[in-house]
Amino acid sequence: MIYTWHQKIWDQLVATRNANHLPHAILISGAEGIGKQAFAEALVNSLLCESPQENYNACGQCKSCHVKHSDAHPDYYQASIAENKTQIVVDQIRQLNNFLHMSRSYQGSRVAYINPAESLNVNAANSLLKSLEEPANNSVIILVTSQISTLLATIKSRCQMLHLPTPNKQVALHWLSLQSTQHSPEELLEMSAGKPLYALKLDNEEHFKRRKDFAHDLSAAINQRQSVTEVSKKWQNSPKDELLDWQIHWVQQLIKYHFNTKQHLPALAIPQSANLNHLWTLHDELIKFREIAHTSLNAQLFIENMLLSWVKLY
């Protein structure tokens, strides 16, 4: 499925394909929660299909489409993070390299799909270079990432880069308003920093409750009613990205409030003494925490340091 805000890019890709210039490796990038995966899946299905439609969507009828539906397509190989692992490892890419050189079972292309590409470890990335440099016939490698800056330059330079944009607010709000959400589309979109699919995922009571609990505990840590160690212990098994998203959103709300007192304030007990400079410093620190969130090994220590950035406001 192609979301309306990515249709133009799809059309450009179709034109490239009609001119027989489709690259052998495509790197799809863009923010988390805007529909990259849907775009990539549509592309995979279309490449595998034996008789794609005029707009290059998969026909859904041919043998290849049926087999793809069953999740065991012989011309398709997917490399993602295996269970209990944190990276895509070299064995997976060696298998992928072998796969690309096997003969096709159907009339479509052979397709290798790597998602999330930023999770390729160094050995895996180096092993992939071989296939990117010497592409096999009738094969396409599709990589998907939401962290393009962390990918090796040697990988990026050997792929056609396809950046998928985040839709503008009006388009995103319109789409969200059609999804009959429980919470207001405006609120959800703001919490997701403008990413509509992510916003939709946030629309559940359980998420709102956890968020409220964390705001409560964070306030307790800031005001030293509860120790930072206690709070971090409680939250150490929560997804770090989620905790950071909440906090960054709250700091942004606090910053906006300085310019517009009609701005909705988060339910956080922030000391009166916190001025705009403090808030910007805190904001930058949280952004840095996001950059290292996936490399930090000790979750409790990570959260403890994150909370200490707030405590400094006092």
Chain positions contacting Zn ion, by CB under 5 A: 49, 58-59, 62, 65
Stretch (H or E) spanning 143: strand 139-145
Between 107 and 300, CB nearer to Zn ion: 107
Between 2 and 306, CB nearer to Zn ion: 2
Q: Which residues contact 180 (CB under 8 A, 6 or more apart)?
A: none
Residue 231 to residue 210: CA distance in whole angstroms:
14
Closest CB 76 distance from Zn ion, rounded Å: 13
Closest CB 101 distance from Zn ion, rounded Å: 24
Closest CB 61 distance from Zn ion, rounded Å: 6
Closest CB 42 distance from Zn ion, rounded Å: 12
Closest CB 119 distance from Zn ion, rounded Å: 30
Residue 210 to residue 215: CA distance in whole angstroms:
9
What's at 42, amino acid-wise?
Answer: A
Closest CB 144 distance from Zn ion, rounded Å: 22
Between 65 and 307, CB nearer to Zn ion: 65
Between 69 and 264, CB nearer to Zn ion: 69
User: In the chain, what are the helix, strand and coil shares in percent, each to the nearest 5?
Assistant: 55, 10, 40
CB neighbour class for 122 (10 Å; exposed up to 12, middle 13-18, buried from 19): exposed
Angle of the 205-222 helix axis to the 299-311 helix axis, nearest 10: 60
CA distances from 108 to 133, 198, 287, 302 (A): 22, 32, 43, 47
Between 65 and 200, CB nearer to Zn ion: 65
DSSP string, 194-227: T-HHHHHHH-SHHHHHHHHHHHHHHHHHHTTSS-
Between 33 and 108, CB nearer to Zn ion: 108
Closest CB 58 distance from Zn ion, rounded Å: 5
Between 10 and 214, CB nearer to Zn ion: 10
